A and B are shown apart, each in its own frame.
Chain A
Amino acid sequence: MPTATEELNFTGKNLIRMADLTADEIRGLINTGLRFKEVSEREIKKVPALRGKTIVNLFFEPSTRTRTSFEIAGKRLSADVINISASASSISKGETFKDTILNISAMKPNAIVIRHSSPGAALIASQITDCSIINGGDGAHAHPTQALLDLMTIAEKKKNFENLNVTIVGDILHSRVARSNINALRSLNANITLCAPPTLMPPRSDVFGAKITTDIKKAVKGADVVMMLRIQQERMGQGLFPSLREYARYFCLTPEVMKETKDDVIIMHPGPINRGVEISSEVADGNKAVILYQVTHGVAMRMAVLYLICGGTKDE
Chain B
Amino acid sequence: MSSSILIKNGHVIDPASGLDEKTDLLITNGKVASIGDNQEGNGAKVIDASGLIVSPGFVDLHVHFREPGYEYKETIKSGAMSAVAGGFSSVCCMANTSPVNDNGTVTSEIVKKGLEAKAARVYPIGAVSKNLDGKELAEIGEMKEAGAVAISDDGKCVLNPKMIRSAMEYASMFGLTVIEHCEDESAKDGVINEGEVSARFGIKGIPPTAEDSIASRNIVISAYTGLPTHLAHISTKGTVDAVRLAKAKGLKVTCEVTPHHFTITEDELESFDTNFKMNPPLRTKEDLKAIKEGLKDGTIDCIATDHAPHASWEKEVELDKAPFGIVGLETALPLSLKLVEEGVISLTQMIALLTCRPSAIFNLPGGSLKKGSPADICIFDSQKKWIVEPEKFLSKGRNSPFNGKTLKGKNIVTIVDGNIVYNPANL
Q: Which residues of A contact B (CB under 8 A)?
A: 96-98, 116, 118-121, 123-124, 139-142, 174-176, 179, 202-205, 207-208
Assess the A207–B199 pair: CB atoms within 8 A: yes
User: What is the distance, in angstroms, from A122's C-beta to the closest C-beta of chain B?
Assistant: 10
Bound complex: CA A23 to CA B420 (Å): 62
Assess the A204–B202 pair: CB atoms within 8 A: no
User: What is the distance, in angstroms, from A285's C-beta to the closest C-beta of chain B?
Assistant: 31
Known: A96-B316, A97-B318, A98-B316. A119 touches B199 (CB 8 A): no
User: What is the distance, in angstroms, from A196's C-beta to the closest C-beta of chain B?
Assistant: 13
Known: A119-B272, A120-B272. A96 touches B202 (CB 8 A): no
Known: A96-B317, A98-B317, A120-B318. A204 touches B203 (CB 8 A): no
B207 / chain A contacts, CB cutoff of 8 Å: 203
A116 / chain B contacts, CB cutoff of 8 Å: 318
B318 / chain A contacts, CB cutoff of 8 Å: 97, 116, 118, 120-121, 124
B316 / chain A contacts, CB cutoff of 8 Å: 96-98
Assess the A141–B317 pair: CB atoms within 8 A: no
Pick from B196, B202, B313 the residue with the most CB of A within 10 Å: B202
Q: Select from chain B the residue with minimum beta-carbon distance to A182.
A: B200
B224 close to A (CB within 8 Å): no
B272 / chain A contacts, CB cutoff of 8 Å: 119-120, 123-124
User: What is the distance, in angstroms, from A229's C-beta to the closest C-beta of chain B?
Assistant: 13
Q: Select from chain B the residue with minimum beta-carbon distance to A174.
A: B202
User: What is the distance, in angstroms, from B210's C-beta to the closest C-beta of chain A?
Assistant: 13
CB contact list, B190-208 vs A, under 8 A = 194-196, 198-203, 205, 207
User: What is the distance, in angstroms, from A221's C-beta to the closest C-beta of chain B?
Assistant: 25
Q: Select from chain A the residue with minimum beta-carbon distance to B202.
A: A140
Assess the A120–B199 pair: CB atoms within 8 A: no
B321 close to A (CB within 8 Å): yes
Q: Select from chain A the residue with minimum beta-carbon distance to B313.
A: A96
B122 / chain A contacts, CB cutoff of 8 Å: none
Bound complex: CA A120 to CA B269 (Å): 10
Bound complex: CA A301 to CA B200 (Å): 25
A176 / chain B contacts, CB cutoff of 8 Å: 202
Assess the A179–B320 pair: CB atoms within 8 A: no
Q: Mark B101-112, 1 if CB is under 8 A from A, else 0.
A: 000000000000
Assess the B317–A97 pair: CB atoms within 8 A: yes
Q: Mark B318-360, 1 if CB is under 8 A from A, else 0.
A: 1111000000000000000000000000000000000000000
Bound complex: CA A175 to CA B321 (Å): 19
A118 / chain B contacts, CB cutoff of 8 Å: 318-321
Q: How many B residues have CB within 8 A of the partner chain?
A: 19
Bound complex: CA A207 to CA B317 (Å): 27
Assess the A141–B199 pair: CB atoms within 8 A: no
Bound complex: CA A176 to CA B202 (Å): 7
Assess the B317–A119 pair: CB atoms within 8 A: no
A96 / chain B contacts, CB cutoff of 8 Å: 313, 316-317
User: What is the distance, in angstroms, from A200's C-beta to the closest C-beta of chain B?
Assistant: 12
Bound complex: CA A204 to CA B195 (Å): 6
Assess the B202–A179 pair: CB atoms within 8 A: yes
Known: A96-B313, A118-B321, A124-B272. A179 touches B194 (CB 8 A): no
Bound complex: CA A204 to CA B199 (Å): 6
Contacts A174-B202, A208-B199 known; list 10 others, CB within 8 Å: A96-B316, A97-B318, A118-B320, A121-B318, A141-B202, A202-B199, A203-B199, A204-B195, A204-B199, A207-B200
Of the residues A97, A98, A119, A205, contact of B202 by C-beta under 8 Å: A119
B319 / chain A contacts, CB cutoff of 8 Å: 118-120, 124
Assess the B201–A204 pair: CB atoms within 8 A: no
Q: Select from chain A the residue with minimum beta-carbon distance to B199.
A: A202
Q: Select from chain A the residue with minimum beta-carbon distance to B274.
A: A124
Q: Select from chain A the residue with minimum beta-carbon distance to B269.
A: A120
Bound complex: CA A274 to CA B321 (Å): 30
Assess the B320–A119 pair: CB atoms within 8 A: yes
User: What is the distance, in angstroms, from A93's C-beta to the closest C-beta of chain B?
Assistant: 15
Bound complex: CA A118 to CA B319 (Å): 7
Assess the B200–A179 pair: CB atoms within 8 A: yes
A174 / chain B contacts, CB cutoff of 8 Å: 202
Bound complex: CA A116 to CA B321 (Å): 12
B195 / chain A contacts, CB cutoff of 8 Å: 203-204
B320 / chain A contacts, CB cutoff of 8 Å: 118-119, 139
A175 / chain B contacts, CB cutoff of 8 Å: 202
Assess the B201–A141 pair: CB atoms within 8 A: yes
Q: Select from chain A the residue with minimum beta-carbon distance to B192.
A: A119
Assess the A204–B317 pair: CB atoms within 8 A: no
Of the residues B194, B203, B313, contact of A119 by C-beta under 8 Å: B203
Bound complex: CA A118 to CA B191 (Å): 11
Assess the B321–A120 pair: CB atoms within 8 A: no
Bound complex: CA A16 to CA B319 (Å): 16
User: What is the distance, in angstroms, from B320's C-beta to the closest C-beta of chain A?
Assistant: 5
Pick from B205, B272, B313, B320 the residue with the most CB of A within 10 Å: B272
Bound complex: CA A179 to CA B202 (Å): 8
Bound complex: CA A123 to CA B202 (Å): 14
Bound complex: CA A203 to CA B210 (Å): 14
CB contact list, B306-321 vs A, under 8 A = 313, 316-321
Pick from B201, B205, B316 the residue with the most CB of A within 10 Å: B201
Bound complex: CA A231 to CA B203 (Å): 18
Assess the B202–A203 pair: CB atoms within 8 A: no
B203 / chain A contacts, CB cutoff of 8 Å: 119-120, 139-141
Bound complex: CA A174 to CA B198 (Å): 11
Assess the A203–B317 pair: CB atoms within 8 A: no
Q: Select from chain A the residue with minimum beta-carbon distance to B207.
A: A203
7 residue pairs of the A-B complex, CB under 8 angstroms, read A97-B321, A179-B200, A202-B198, A205-B199, A207-B196, A207-B199, A207-B200
Bound complex: CA A113 to CA B320 (Å): 20
Q: Select from chain A the residue with minimum beta-carbon distance to B322.
A: A118
